[in-house]
Amino acid sequence: MKTRLLSINLLNELERPENADFLAEFTEHRHAGKSLIYSPGHDKNQVFVVKTGRLRLYLAVEDKDFSLAILEPGDIFVSHTRAHVQTIEEVTLLVMPISRLHSYMASYPALSTTVIRILGELLSRSFSIIDSLVFKDIRQRLTDFFLYEAENNGSRSQDGTVVRIDLTTTQLAAIIGSSRQTVSTIIGAMLKDGVLARWQRNVYLIPNVDLLRNYGNTRA
Ligand code: HEM
């Protein structure tokens, strides 16, 4: 189990004798490993607490999926989001209609702290996903720029294609619609990954144009 920032564990709270009425609201459900339990548009609005096992929350967009969080025993989640909820291994869930949750929110601090932690995790992961998508898009545009220069203004050398870019990083950033810092970071990564080499000031060597072309397509 993860080290919790706040030591309150919802499962332990539910198992206390004084919380028996709250626990009685839940129905126990078992699911096999690797089963999809909830998808967006699920018709019942349910809330569940993980009793045993782990689940993965993810967004599915076309043929890609983006992991949002791993739920572990003591975690809580709901069926009314755009995330898919899939079991990693066999799980036991404590399930109840979300309409019943509201009345308990005020009297069970463990509920709000757990919900805030899970939503925080989701938000943090969502920020990273946005970052990587934006970064990937800029990397593609920068790669396209170098490929265009190689094809139209490049000269062949025995080590590859040499391109002269008589632009400052700020000017280059303006051309591809990004910032100087981002362009520097991406060029730094391209140099490190060997798809680009610095030949002289403002002159780059592309050792293998096909490698550079593929670089633009790889995931951030
Ligand atoms: C009293 C209980 C709750 C009520 C009445 C409630 C209600 C709602 C409503 C009305 C929405 C907007 C839905 C829409 O735009 O279609 C929403 C969204 C959401 N809720 Fe809840 N909710 C409750 C508890 C929870 C809990 C316990 C969690 C997670 C631990 C949660 C996570 C979310 C998330 C992530 C969304 C965004 C969904 C998306 O846009 O994909 N909710 N909720």
Please count the other Cβ atoms lying within 10 Å of the Cβ belonging to residue 198: 11
Q: Percentage of the chain with pLDDT > 90?
A: 75
DSSP assignment letter at 69 = E
Q: What is the pLDDT of residues 88-146, one digit of tens each?
A: 999 999 999 999 998 898 888 889 999 999 999 999 999 989 888 888 889 999 999 99
The Å distance, Cα 100 to ligand 1 centre, comes to 14
Closest atom, ligand 1, to C-alpha of 115? 30
The Å distance, Cα 47 to ligand 1 centre, comes to 10
Query: Is pLDDT of 204 > 90?
Result: yes
- Ligand 1 cavity residues, CB under 6 Å: 47, 76-78, 80-82, 98, 101-102, 105, 115, 118-119, 122
CB 57 within 8 Å of CB 48: no
The rounded mean pLDDT for the chain is 90
- Whose Cα sits closest to atom 20 in ligand 1? 81
The structure's pTM equals 0.75
The whole-angstrom separation of Cα 64 and Cα 85 is 15
The whole-angstrom separation of Cα 199 and Cα 191 is 11
3 state DSSP class of 188: helix
Q: What is the pLDDT of residues 146-193, one digit of tens each?
A: 999 999 999 999 999 999 998 999 999 999 999 999 999 999 999 999
Closest atom, ligand 1, to C-alpha of 83? 41
Confidence band, pLDDT 50/70/90 cuts, at residue 63: confident
Q: Which domains can be identified in the chain, with CATH numbers?
A: 10-126 (2.60.120.10), 135-215 (1.10.10.10)
The Å distance, Cα 79 to ligand 1 centre, comes to 8
- Whose Cα sits closest to atom 34 in ligand 1? 81
The Å distance, Cα 98 to ligand 1 centre, comes to 10
The whole-angstrom separation of Cα 182 and Cα 197 is 18
CB 54 within 8 Å of CB 89: yes
Closest atom, ligand 1, to C-alpha of 114? 30
The Å distance, Cα 80 to ligand 1 centre, comes to 6
Token reading at 149: 């220069």
The Å distance, Cα 135 to ligand 1 centre, comes to 29
